[in-house]
Amino acid sequence: RKEVEQDPGPFNVPEGATVAFNCTYSNSASQSFFWYRQDCRKEPKLLMSVYSSGNEDGRFTAQLNRASQYISLLIRDSKLSDSATYLCVVTPFTGGGNKLTFGTGTQLKVEL
């Protein structure tokens, strides 16, 4: 089983739609979780951290389910500019250094 798994998509949604992505992780000792956004041929950029209680940033909501070992990202009122690949990132406890594990990403295409 991969350490971090994501549905590669693409998710094709109309502008204004709500879309959700899930990401599963295999290491139950994982400590920190993040969502990144990567535009084509660009570097990944931090979208938001994921907290145990769930958190929201504008149209974006992130949730963590430790029992089932997955995190989710919900995007409301999708914009054309939301089209990108969304990467799930997990940090296991290593006692030193930082070995963030990236999922391969879920591609989102928002259409008119």
Partner 1 sequence: SQTIHQWPATLVQPVGSPLSLECTVEGTSNPNLYWYRQAAGRGLQLLFYSVGIGQISSEVPQNLSASRPQDRQFILSSKKLLLSDSGFYLCAWSVRWNSPLHFGNGTRLTVT
Residues forming contacts to partner 1 in the complex (CB under 8 A) are 31-32, 34, 41-46, 49, 87, 89, 91, 93-94, 96-100, 102-105
Query: Minimum distance from CB of 36 to partner 1 (Å)?
Result: 8
Q: Can you list the alpha helix ranges (DSSP code H) found in the chain?
A: none
Asked if 12 contacts 82 with a C-beta cutoff of 8 angstroms, the reply is no
Q: Which is nearer to partner 1, 79 or 100 (CB)?
A: 100
Q: In sequence order, what are the residues at sequence separation of 6 or more whose Cβ sits closer than 8 angstroms to the Cβ of residue 17?
A: 78, 110
Query: Minimum distance from CB of 41 to partner 1 (Å)?
Result: 7
